[in-house]
Amino acid sequence: MTKQLWIALPFFAALIGGCKDMGSDVPQTPVIPTIVGIQPDSAAVGDTVMIDGNNFGSSQGSSTVSFAPGISANIVVSWSTTSIIVGVPAGAVSGIVSVTVNGSTSNAFQFKSSAAAPDTLVHFQTGILPILLNNCALSGCHSGSSPISGFNASTYDNLRKGGFTFGTNVVISFDSTHSAIMEMVRSNNNPIGLRMPQGGPYASTGLPDSLIVRIGKWIQQGALNN
């Protein structure tokens, strides 16, 4: 080995040893969810509220909404990165609401739990339409200009028009028992032989009972466009 190589070896060893961060991972800054508003800011147990903000994630997954004194909402109507619609859970009191996503918890937002009896009226715009948009009125299903079975569930008017299979009996005001939409979401023992929805987050499990009951309650109250 030449004298020049012997001299150069310590230099290269020192150079390599000095690069302590070679190949190291760059720390990732956690994304923190943020609440900017709750509508309405006062509601009773069972009422539906909309939480507006940012960084909630495109779907719920393992994320949670917590009402004082630390009770998680168990009725989630819809979940998107900027908006969450949930039912106020039993036991919730006036205090703070927070959203936790991937282990990161949002700012604490003040919310007042009404002492009055809950407003049991189910509203189409906040209580029913989000269910339809997230599970039924999807691309290639019941939306667009050529929806399956001619049934478009993306608006109130289209929902009431029904489709080829059931006509306007999809929703029969004050009669959830004979409204076809209830038969379709309850089980696969229906004229189609497939439990709806066939898309969205509940495609493999069917809608949770809480959401099915909400749809039925809305129909029993007259299926209003409220």
Q: What does the block give as tokens for 69?
A: 């004194």
The enclosing H or E element of 212 equals helix 209-220
The amino acid that residue 69 corresponds to is: P
User: E strands within the chain?
Assistant: 34-39, 42-43, 48-54, 64-67, 71-72, 76-79, 83-87, 95-101, 104-105, 109-113
Reply yes or no on whether the pLDDT at 25 is more than 70: no
Superfamily of the domain at 34-113? Immunoglobulins (2.60.40.10)
Reply yes or no on whether the pLDDT at 3 is more than 70: no
Task: Label residue 21 by pLDDT band (50, 70, 90).
Answer: low
The whole-number pLDDT of residue 155 equals 96
Task: Label residue 22 by pLDDT band (50, 70, 90).
Answer: low
Does residue 106 contact residue 34 with C-beta atoms inside 8 Å? Answer: yes
The whole-number pLDDT of residue 119 equals 54
DSSP codes joined into one string, 102-127: TTEE---EEEEE-SSPP--PPPIIII
For residues 82 and 145, what is the distance between their CA atoms, to the nearest angstrom? 28
Residue 44, helix vs strand vs coil: coil
* Over residues 142-165, mean pLDDT: 94
* Over residues 160-168, mean pLDDT: 93
Direct distance between the N- and C-terminal alpha carbons of the chain, in angstroms, rounded to an integer: 89
* Over residues 124-140, mean pLDDT: 91
Distant-in-sequence, close-in-space partners of 208: CB < 8 Å, separation ≥ 6: 202
Can you give the residue ranges of every domain in the chain?
34-113, 124-220
- Provide the whole-model pTM: 0.60
